[in-house]
Amino acid sequence: MKTKILAGFAIAAIAIQFIPYGNDHTNPPVVSEPTWDSPRTKELFNNACADCHSHQTKYPWYSNIAPISWLIAHDVEEGREHFNVSTWGAQKKNEGDEAAKEVREGEMPLWFYLPTHPEAKLSDTQKQELMSGLEKTFGKEEAEEEKK
């Protein structure tokens, strides 16, 4: 019985590798970029945010293995939909003004991204630099402005 269960699991694990979703690792062309307030902000953004929020995604080796490839594809699609620096000005909805708030509240980068991307784990000083640079580059969220 145990052997049949393991065999069934192995067959399923192999079969899902043939589902095409998550296998396309080509990046669309960069249409336009924001005018960064400084090279440091761009560097910190590229280290912590660009894989999901630009067309310059670096796909790791494990992004070729389902179901991990599905999760990565979904996260990149969703990240680009909400905030994409590679389509700056050309994308209808681009929530750049929320970027600093997301970092401040610890919502970005996502917790499960950090263990495999140590360059995205920012020190408190780096977080402050990034939040300040994001606010200077993209502005502050309107709701936050209205509270003041």
Q: How many CA atoms lie within 13 A of 137 on its CB side?
A: 25
Q: What is the pLDDT of residue 93?
A: 66
- At residue 146 the predicted structure's pLDDT band, cuts being 50, 70 and 90, is very low
Asked if 50 contacts 56 with a C-beta cutoff of 8 angstroms, the reply is yes
Mean of all residue pLDDT scores within the chain: 87
Name 87's bridge partners.
32
Dist. CA 36–CA 115, nearest whole Å: 27
| pLDDT tens column, 35-71 | 999 999 999 999 999 999 999 999 999 999 999 999 9
Dist. CA 139–CA 64, nearest whole Å: 37
| pLDDT tens column, 76-92 | 999 998 889 999 877 66
